[in-house]
Amino acid sequence: MAIRVYKPTTAGRRNASVNTRDEVTKERPEKSLLRPLPKKAGRNHQGKITVRGRGGGHKRRYRVIDFKRKQLRGKKAVVLGIEYDPNRSCNIALLEFDATAPDGAAIKKRCYIPAPRGVTDGDVLLTSETPVDPKPGTAMPMKHIPTGLNIHCVELQPGKGAQLARSAGMSVRLTNREGRLATLLLPSGELRQVSVECWATVGVVGNADHARRRLGKAGKSRHLGRRPKTRGVAMSHDAHPLGGGEGRSKGGRAPVSRSGTPSKGGSTRNKKQHSSKLIIRRRKSKRYGQLR
């Protein structure tokens, strides 16, 4: 069992559960694929806080993930191990493949990809521009993937890299293809179309039990870099749109953020870059604001 619950020896342990990480087979990360990851504490390049409730947390180093798999195309890669990544919910797989050095010599190179479910040490993964056997972990353009399969790490634009279904336990259903467009059923219930030239990986992202883990105490949130947040209705009227009033008062206003952006059902999509014309069915009804 991937989720373990211990005896309630303390108040924090009583409500907590632990992910045993049964899929992880390699403890130490690959040094050549590590990068520094300085803390931002929710601040942008101007030093202004744009995301509240961030700060502190354990030190991390970034693992370079190959979301395009461009250097793997046309090659076979061997899985050396499945590792824990502190920067994302899914585990990552370390791959080794044959490459050519600038002087023409044959060398071995390594890279990280999100670990698909069912992939373990010694497995051989293919990244092909032509049709191949669609095993979990195989990446190819969606024009070659059989319809009805679950896929992950899906591109929205050809060559841009994986953007959809990258977190733990996620997958997208490839329902059908019509001409130059493929139809995808997202976990949210949204139906959308993307180009058949976009790449995707067959299978489901591993570590699906990540969502079942319960932190159990505030200290675990602080380890993750999450600070306490004050409710807007508990602030003064000049600190938050929902604040102020005599005693406890909601004021009747719809939930908004500190800047006034609607928190539930508000539009945050960039009108200049959105692809609404390719959305067949939205994840939320425009009329009722509920999942279809």
Tell me, yes or no, whether 204 and 238 share the same domain: no
The three-state (H, E, C) secondary structure of 166-213, written as one string: CCCCCCEEEEEEECCEEEEECCCCCEEEEECCCEEEECCECCHHHHHC
Tell me, yes or no, whether 175 and 55 share the same domain: yes
Tell me, yes or no, whether 78 and 195 share the same domain: yes
Tell me, yes or no, whether 192 and 83 share the same domain: yes
* Single-letter residue type at 118: G
Domain encompassing residue 189: 3-211
Tell me, yes or no, whether 160 and 93 share the same domain: yes
Q: Are 128 and 138 in contact (CB under 8 A)?
A: yes
Tell me, yes or no, whether 125 and 154 share the same domain: yes
Q: How far apart are CA 238 and CA 244, in angstroms?
A: 8
pLDDT string in tens for the chain (292-residue length): 589 999 999 998 998 999 999 899 999 999 999 999 999 999 999 999 888 899 999 999 999 999 998 888 888 889 999 999 999 999 999 998 887 778 777 788 899 999 999 899 888 998 988 888 889 989 999 999 999 999 999 999 998 999 999 999 999 999 999 889 999 999 988 899 999 999 999 999 999 999 999 999 999 999 999 999 998 899 998 989 998 888 888 778 888 888 888 887 667 666 666 667 888 888 866 544 444 3
Which whole-number Å values give the CA distances from 137 to 67, 93, 273, in the listed order? 13, 10, 30
pLDDT of residue 109: 87
Tell me, yes or no, whether 54 and 168 share the same domain: yes
Tell me, yes or no, whether 38 and 107 share the same domain: yes
- Which domain-ending residue is among 184, 211, 238? 211
219 found inside a domain = no
- Residue 33 is classified by DSSP as G
pLDDT of residue 289: 45
Q: For residue 273, what is the domain's CATH number?
A: 4.10.950.10
- Which domain-ending residue is among 211, 240, 270? 211
Tell me, yes or no, whether 118 and 191 share the same domain: yes
Tell me, yes or no, whether 187 and 237 share the same domain: no
Sign of CA dihedral 234, 240, 245, 249: negative
Tell me, yes or no, whether 285 and 191 share the same domain: no
220 found inside a domain = no
**Coil, strand or helix: which one is 288?**
coil
pLDDT of residue 275: 65
pTM: 0.85
Tell me, yes or no, whether 205 and 240 share the same domain: no
Give all strands of the β-sheet with 191-195 in edge-to-edge order. Answer: 106-114, 92-100, 75-83, 124-127, 139-141, 199-202, 150-152, 172-178, 181-185, 191-195, 279-281
pLDDT of residue 291: 41
